[in-house]
Structure 1
């Protein structure tokens, strides 16, 4: 088997510049890289990654490789792979199977090639590798010590497997760690989603109505950035508690059909499917723009949008126009895939520094403890979360207080003193 399948290996110089740029802005991973290179904790282990293949992911792969891991990498979305970055990794000797705009058949072939390397550790983003290891590659599952999952969508799938007693190896829910969802999901998604939308549309946001569908940590971030851009923000939710939270955060709260009639921008960010359907399209204003910041391209029902339209055409890079029978035009960004990656560069490097440090430390935890763990979904150990935060603070030149012995005794004592 070839050690790599990339679009053009000659693109590697541009990809190397991108990787070097993010490396200079990922101080936490740099510390771990030095430790891994010195201690070689992954020596003799094969590690498979399916994460959006751009520069920050590439650097994570290099950090793990520096620790002795035999790393195989593919993307987790056909439109988020950057061909020059994939070429740079391949040129550095890491197994890579990915290219931009892969067909469904090519995408699945790339996933299979990663698993053909028979990994003991998996790092997943959305659950594609884990899914294959529970279906087509089920015979390989006993070799897997465990893995880590990056996203809300993937963790939901893992918990469903665990609930049905079908999970075949332990997995760590990196998404649920404080240093992940509080920063990556909120600030990372908020900034990168709007970066993707703004660079794609070149249209103003101030004064317009932005409908954010879902008020989890990602939705909070998207709404916060929309507010900062001067938009009138509307939140749609199915959870009454989150709806009240959105209301008290200063946003309008509506059901999705009422919001459909007033929105200028619609951003889905739930991990569920069919947030926008034919009934919504019938109510939308001429010129309404739809984008997805959830993991898969099912949050906006594209078949129903196409069925409701008389024509479909590309009017600008990553913008498709759907013409409705009454003359209204609705616009879909990035084919309904992750707009921040399919039409942008993903989260800022400083944000992913923390998330990928958690991935690296979780992989290390699996390498050391996987054989003794049950086939369950585990939270990131608190000491790993805290270590990432401490390293991040140190890189920022910030200091915090510590509890004294008396204070520790006071808060850990059930009796009042």
Structure 2
């Protein structure tokens, strides 16, 4: 928990970031977010440049004290991916919260993507656009046949690189912590990292630093070349990558392991994910095929005759079990989200994937250094 002076510094940072953004004719916003301990100052920043119609916390990343705090000043609704993926249910919900208003959707994981076209055409107000935080969500919007509104993505921003690197650290930390609850350790267990994007690179590096042998698999051969250049063994197929791996970390943001892949997992291996289980692991396909047994809190054994493995955190992001903290570096990403929200409020943009300007990013970085670079 932040001390008062630290909280004051964060609040001052967000006030500086939002001070140049428009305040007249504020749009409404619907905010999907991780409702973790440090999130209130960010949400207060959102409220300075928009009228927050509702906060929708991601179910597996809710801090109860933060939930109580935010509920006292903002509408908080339950986040249901099935509801938002259905065009009729999505429009009914949006109308219930922001009918007739200018509206911006803040997203973490592409929740609004399936119904976006319907919302654009049938919402009684005006949908100004979407701001998306994650690579998984970026891919969901990019895969749409037609993107009807501007979608500002921060997923591939250079300001997100520090967060991604530190998230990789936290994933390995939490994976090791869960393995140790079974009086087991990572050492001596070869690891398979599926996905060699920014998170996968960090995870591979953190495992290597713990003297764990790492094999990388990515469907992109260019990324496999990068992995080879950085000293890792790679595999041309997922089957070969999984062979003999005692730790499997899924870091694609898409479906890493499908039903047929689980049969190739080595006996006794641990499986960890960096995102929601329904995005990364097809665990539902194992119903009736494997018996599930809770061995320790957040460690589940899947077993059938002659085969067993362990799934950590029910296949969800393991690092959220320990707060998923990346320190003040998360504020860079949150500030870019605010800048994208402000840009949608102040200007008209073409439909499609958008990013804020390099000049805005430099301004955010310079402001962050003013508040959080302890050396200066």
Q: What residue is the counterpart of 1:319 in the other structure?
A: 299
Give unmatched runs, 5+ long, in structure 2: none
Deviations 1:282-338 (A, max 9, x none): 3333221111114552422213434442x2122222221111211x32111222222
Aligned counterparts of 2:198 and 2:91: Cα–Cα separation in 1: 29
Give unmatched runs, 5+ long, in structure 1: 1-17, 400-417
Distance 1:71 1:361, change over 3 A: farther
Q: What residue is the counterpart of 1:408 in the other structure?
A: none
Aligned counterparts of 1:111 and 1:167: Cα–Cα separation in 2: 17
Aligned counterparts of 2:13 and 2:368: Cα–Cα separation in 1: 10
Aligned counterparts of 1:81 and 1:70: Cα–Cα separation in 2: 18
Aligned counterparts of 1:172 and 1:397: Cα–Cα separation in 2: 31
2:302–2:308 CA contact under 8 A, matched in 1: yes
Aligned counterparts of 1:22 and 1:290: Cα–Cα separation in 2: 39
Is the deviation greater in 312-321 or in 62-71? 62-71
Q: What residue is the counterpart of 2:311 in the other structure?
A: 332
1:378 CA drift (Å)? 0.9
Aligned counterparts of 2:195 and 2:337: Cα–Cα separation in 1: 25
The question of 1:354 aligning with 2:354 is answered: no
Distance 1:278 1:154, change over 3 A: closer
The question of 1:281 aligning with 2:257 is answered: no
Q: What residue is the counterpart of 2:202 in the other structure?
A: 221
Distance 1:339 1:23, change over 3 A: farther
Aligned counterparts of 2:268 and 2:64: Cα–Cα separation in 1: 33
1:347 CA drift (Å)? 3.9
The question of 1:241 aligning with 2:219 is answered: no
Q: What residue is the counterpart of 1:290 in the other structure?
A: 271
1:52–1:80 CA contact under 8 A, matched in 2: yes
Distance 1:112 1:355, change over 3 A: farther
Q: What residue is the counterpart of 2:122 in the other structure?
A: 139
Runs of 4+ that moved beyond 4 A:
20-23, 25-29, 37-40, 102-115
Distance 1:61 1:386, change over 3 A: same
Q: What residue is the counterpart of 1:184 in the other structure?
A: 163
1:131 CA drift (Å)? 3.2
Q: What residue is the counterpart of 1:270 in the other structure?
A: 252
1:287–1:331 CA contact under 8 A, matched in 2: yes
The question of 1:385 aligning with 2:366 is answered: no
Is the deviation greater in 116-125 or in 376-385? 116-125
Distance 1:136 1:67, change over 3 A: closer
Number of residue pairs matched by the alignment: 366
RMSD over equivalenced CA pairs, Å? 3.1
Q: TM-score, normalised by structure 2?
A: 0.86
1:212 CA drift (Å)? 0.5
1:230 CA drift (Å)? 2.1
Aligned counterparts of 2:74 and 2:5: Cα–Cα separation in 1: 17
Is the deviation greater in 28-37 or in 142-151? 28-37
Distance 1:86 1:133, change over 3 A: farther
SS at match of 1:206: coil
Aligned counterparts of 2:135 and 2:120: Cα–Cα separation in 1: 23
- Equivalences for residues 9-88 of structure 1 within 5 A: 18=1, 20=2, 24=6, 30-34=12-16, 36=18, 41=23, 44-67=26-49, 69-76=51-58, 78-88=59-69
1:288–1:331 CA contact under 8 A, matched in 2: yes
Q: Which has the larger radius of gyration?
A: 1
Aligned counterparts of 1:250 and 1:151: Cα–Cα separation in 2: 28
